[in-house]
Amino acid sequence: MSVVPSSVSSQESVSLRFPTGFVWGAATASFQIEGATTVDGRTDSIWDEFCRRPGAVANGDTGEPGADHYRRYQADVDLMTSLGLGAYRFSVAWPRVRPDGGAVNPAGLDFYDRLVDALLAAGISPWATLYHWDLPQALEEAGGWTSRDTAYRFADYVDSVVERLGDRVAGWLTLNEPWCSAFAGYASGRHAPGVASPTAAVSAVHHLLLAHGLGMERIRAHAPGTPAGITLNLFPVAAVSPADEDAARRVDGLQNRIFLDPVLRGAYPDDVLMDLAPYGLAGLVRDGDMATIGTPVDMLGVNYYRPLLVAAPLVSPDEPSEWVGVEGVRFLPSGLPRTELGWEVSPAGLTDLLLRLRDEYPRLPLYITENGAAYPDAVGPDGQVRDTDRLAYLDGHLRAAHAALRQGVDLRGYFCWSLLDNLEWAEGYAKRFGLVHVDFETQARTVKESARWYAGVIARNGLPAA
């Protein structure tokens, strides 16, 4: 099965070529696509419980969320093959592998065995994310990420997964976007588990980072030589005016440096420790923690969606804030086009971010592990999905990535978010990020125009002239 790009000729000349061996892929997350939430021994995650709360998710109670990938994985692998993907980044569901955070569930591991084998049979490299937000609900009831013990339970879970799959997975990522887990999950409560406590959020930050370090040690034990790292959602941050620079510094500290510095430098930034002193960050650190968190990584996954233009707070917010210590901070528009989620589209911000990582942190291979956009896609009368906005978005961001490559950034790969339309967390099913349209009533898949275009980029390992 093959897909011929609709918007470019397969013979078209390439003006921007990517390095030989550049990894071209797409990404998903277990809770967003798998469905089958009550079969084969899987138990509740924090997102199952959260989705049942009235008003927590745009579409209400999701029942069995996702795109039924658990049952349809082979057909989805065939779709990946049709697009020419060289790699697929998926996440493993902790509640399948160790239900309730307890003993290993062989049926849960069997699913990922089948998925990895299907990918390899199709010539697609499996990239596994070990935690994409679906903490077992039983562990949340024991304290969740506010409890240090959860980091050690994560290490046990990593043992189980990597011991089983480590001989076949091409790349390991410990955590996806710990900022969201900590601050959206425990500060504002906008995400699962829906807790609103700045102190809890700061505790979650440290324990998530400790889990990352412990996970790295277990990956090294079971899969020596396989590249491993962490994925962070990173943002270029700028102040509106000199009066807003301290607010921008705090936002950059909470969004970017609170994770980058411990992982890549082995220490929290001094200014962040001072900013978060009222919430006890320094007191959470025990002997040996920072060495564990700073266990050398082989790569850094970068999730990029938009920049942040920061203005100082006017008043404290009426609702819980994700911005601990700088509550009420304002993010102002720059006048750029926006996606359906209201996120400004700034390809130049991706170049800036990659250059910052090159200049300010130890050099290591970088992978764009998520980049994409939500638009109001629909299947037309002719059966096609003409998502020209997404196509333009991807084109602009790939050109921005290439600009960073030309300036010496060691960028090794790009994973589009997402392969499939899915449950977009608290936004429900209405916000579509996929290269492939999913009808959530029938589970029919329709390849979008952007996917055909991306298949052409992959086939040529480059972009045509602008």
What's the whole-model pTM score? 0.97
* pLDDT computed for residue 60 by the predictor: 76
Q: Which residues contact 439 (CB under 8 A, 6 or more apart)?
A: 379, 446
| Residue 254 DSSP one-character state | I
Cβ-based burial of 1 (10 A; exposed 0-12, middle 13-18, buried ≥19): exposed
Residues 10, 5: Cα–Cα separation, whole Å: 7
Q: How many C-beta atoms lie closer than 10 Å to residue 330's C-beta? A: 13
- Examine the residue annotation and report whether 370 is marked as an active-site residue of this protein: yes
DSSP line for 17-41: EPPTT-EEEEE--HHHH---TTSTT
- pLDDT over threshold 90, residue 346: yes
Whole-number pLDDT of residue 2: 42
First-last CA distance in the chain: 29
In this predicted structure, what is the pLDDT of residue 314? 85
Give the separation between CA 208 and CA 230, rounded to whole angstroms. Answer: 11
Q: How large is the average pLDDT for residues 133-151?
A: 98
Name residues whose C-beta falls within 8 Å of residue 30's C-beta, 6 or more positions apart in sequence. Answer: 90, 91, 92, 93, 96, 132, 134
> Containing H/E element for 414?
strand 411-417
Known catalytic residue: 427? no
Task: Dump pLDDT digits (tens) for 273-292.
Answer: 999 999 999 999 999 999 99
Q: Over 90: is that where the pLDDT of 361 sits?
A: yes
- In the set 177, 322, 424, 449, the catalytic residue is 177
- Residue 58 — very low, low, confident or very high, per pLDDT cuts 50/70/90? confident
The least confident of 1-10, 244-253, 276-285, 424-433 is 1-10
Question: Mean pLDDT over residues 296-301, rounded?
Answer: 98
- Name every residue whose Cβ is closer than 8 Å to that of residue 381 and which is 6 or more positions away in sequence: none
Residue-range domains of the chain with CATH:
22-446 (3.20.20.80)
User: How far apart (Å, rounded) are the C-alpha atoms in residues 219 and 228?
Assistant: 8
Distance CA 76, CA 69 (A): 7
Distance CA 389, CA 373 (A): 9
- For 99-122, the pLDDT digits (tens) are 999 999 999 999 999 999 999 999
Nearest one of 151, 161, 139 to 45, comparing CA atoms: 139
Return mean pLDDT, the chain: 96
Alpha carbons within 13 angstroms on the beta-carbon side of residue 443 total 15
CA separation, residue 337 to residues 344, 347, 351, 415 (Å): 6, 11, 18, 23
Given a cut of 90, whether residue 191 has pLDDT beyond it is: yes
Q: Which of 197, 198, 230 is nearest to 211 (CA)?
A: 230
Which of 217, 111, 120, 224 minimizes the C-alpha distance to 166? 224
Question: In this predicted structure, what is the pLDDT of residue 14?
Answer: 82
The count of residues in the chain is 466
Catalytic residue among 34, 140, 344, 370: 370
